[in-house]
């Protein structure tokens, strides 16, 4: 791995804001791929920060600071992401939110950003969203897809409950789930239709759903 990418990983994981932003700028100047930076390097660092938190080396305040640095970097990266991912057509409608009991929003917001760039209309319900609010939004906006995000394993029952309530209400939208608490396997177990590991994949999956809907 080349040097700026390694420094992006290490400096972000060490919460060295200046070192990280400098490495980020260097990587961009040298033409590094923006998806690799966000979905491999910065995501690796956030996982490492999570590991250090689990080991007792980092505290909650460190996680908050990491989130702040991540969001600051996203402001720099957004124009680069936009020029890489922008699509022309009007695609489909997606209702998105982080489920009840979970307030992590970075990953969910990344999914929203990429979907919007690819021409989707995204209704972002925010974080800690109760099932009833998803049902209400589904009725109001008649989306192609409802996206549920969960990073805490303790929020998995919330995902399951939300899906059950959406089905009970007869919502026709495909339900896509994602976030560090979920996998292909848990997605199936909670009754979701679709799973995506990261925001780029989420867009691919969403595009397929809308393509299929427009063909039938």
Interface residue list for ligand B12 (CB under 6 A): 39, 43, 46-47, 49-51, 53-54, 60, 63-64, 66-67, 101-108, 110-111, 147-149, 151-154, 176-181, 196, 198-199, 202
Between 28 and 74, name the residue whose CB sits nearer to ligand B12.
74
Between 27 and 45, name the residue whose CB sits nearer to ligand B12.
45
Cβ 158 to ligand B12 shortest distance, Å: 10
How far is it, in rounded angstroms, from Cα 216 to Cα 214? 6
Residue 85 three-state SS: helix
Please identify which residue in the block is written with the tokens 């409802």.
146
Closest to 190 (Cα-Cα) out of 131, 144, 143, 140: 131
Closest to 203 (Cα-Cα) out of 105, 60, 87: 87
Between 50 and 157, name the residue whose CB sits nearer to ligand B12.
50
Cβ 153 to ligand B12 shortest distance, Å: 4
Cβ 177 to ligand B12 shortest distance, Å: 6
Cβ 111 to ligand B12 shortest distance, Å: 5
How far is it, in rounded angstroms, from Cα 141 to Cα 10? 43
Residue 94 three-state SS: strand
Between 27 and 145, name the residue whose CB sits nearer to ligand B12.
145
């Amino acid at each position: 791995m080349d040097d700026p990418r390694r420094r992006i990983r290490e400096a972000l994981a060490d919460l060295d804001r200046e070192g990280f932003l400098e490495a980020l700028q260097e990587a961009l100047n040298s033409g590094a791929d923006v998806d690799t930076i966000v979905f491999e390097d910065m995501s690796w660092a956030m996982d490492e920060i999570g590991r250090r938190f689990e080991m007792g080396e980092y505290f909650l305040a460190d996680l908050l600071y990491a989130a702040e640095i991540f969001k600051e970097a996203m402001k720099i990266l957004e124009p680069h992401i936009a020029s890489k991912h922008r699509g022309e057509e009007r695609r489909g409608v997606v209702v998105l939110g982080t489920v009840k009991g979970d307030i992590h929003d970075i990953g969910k917001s990344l999914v929203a950003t990429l979907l919007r760039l690819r021409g989707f209309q995204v209704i972002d319900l925010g974080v800690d969203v109760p099932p009833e609010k998803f049902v209400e939004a589904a009725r109001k906006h008649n989306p192609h897809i409802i996206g549920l995000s969960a990073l805490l394993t303790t929020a998995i029952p919330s995902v399951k409950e939300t899906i059950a309530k959406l089905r009970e209400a007869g919502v026709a939208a495909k339900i896509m789930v994602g976030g560090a608490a979920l996998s292909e396997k848990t997605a199936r177990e909670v009754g979701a239709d679709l799973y995506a590991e990261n925001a780029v994949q989420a867009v691919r999956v969403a595009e397929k759903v809308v393509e299929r809907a427009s063909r039938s």
